């Protein structure tokens, strides 16, 4: 899959399960960690797990498995698809860590352009 195809599948998976405040940040110009972060939050730890499960399921339907996964069932779940890293937070945890602020030098991309 191309990077844009991954982003499209991930954003639509998150949206289908009612993720809140989906943000895409292009970080390729400021780090070698990845090309994009996709950040979203759920309303509870159960919701965050549901969001992560849906992303994994939809990506597996496209023959993509995460290279790494951290925080299963917690307030912050990370799915690493190499060029795209997905951060799914419980809202209060997202507010605390403020990843968007840490990566403010990255370019924000409108997630709506990827929605079907």
Question: Which CATH number belongs to the domain containing residue 83 in this structure?
Answer: 3.30.460.10
Residue 116's pLDDT is: 87
Reported as a single tens digit per residue, the pLDDT across 92-111 is 999 999 999 999 999 999 99
Residue 49's pLDDT is: 94
For the chain, what is the mean pLDDT?
95
Structural domain total, the chain = 1
Residue 59's pLDDT is: 98
Q: What pTM does this model have?
A: 0.94
Long-range contacts of 43-50 (CB under 8 A, 24+ apart): 43/90, 43/91, 44/90, 45/73, 45/74, 45/75, 45/90, 47/17, 47/18, 47/90, 48/74, 48/75, 48/76, 48/77, 48/88, 48/89, 48/90, 49/73, 49/77, 50/17
The residue ranges of DSSP E strands in 4-80, in sequence order, are 20-26, 36-42, 68-70, 76-80
* Domain span holding position 68: 3-109
Percent pLDDT > 70 in the chain is 99
Query: In sequence order, what are the residues at sequence separation of 6 or more whose Cβ sits closer than 8 angstroms to the Cβ of residue 98?
Result: none
Residue 74's pLDDT is: 78
**Largest distance between two CA atoms of the chain:** 34
Structural domain contains residue 116: no
Structural domain contains residue 114: no
Q: At which residue do the structure tokens 């997202």 appear?
A: 94
Residue 72's pLDDT is: 75
Structural domain contains residue 71: yes
Instruction: Say if residue 81's pLDDT is above 90.
Output: yes
Structural domain contains residue 15: yes
Reported as a single tens digit per residue, the pLDDT across 24-56 is 999 999 999 899 999 999 999 899 999 999 999
């Amino acid at each position: 899959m191309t990077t844009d195809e991954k982003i499209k599948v991930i954003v639509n998976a998150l949206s289908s399960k009612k993720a809140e405040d989906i943000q895409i940040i292009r970080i390729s110009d400021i780090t070698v960690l990845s090309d994009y972060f996709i950040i979203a939050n759920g309303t509870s730890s159960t919701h965050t797990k549901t969001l992560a499960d849906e992303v994994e399921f939809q990506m597996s339907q496209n023959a993509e498995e995460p290279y790494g996964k951290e925080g299963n069932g917690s307030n912050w779940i990370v799915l690493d698809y190499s060029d795209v890293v997905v951060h799914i937070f419980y809202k209060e945890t997202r507010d605390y860590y403020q990843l968007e602020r840490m990566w403010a030098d990255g370019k924000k991309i409108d997630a709506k352009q990827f929605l079907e």
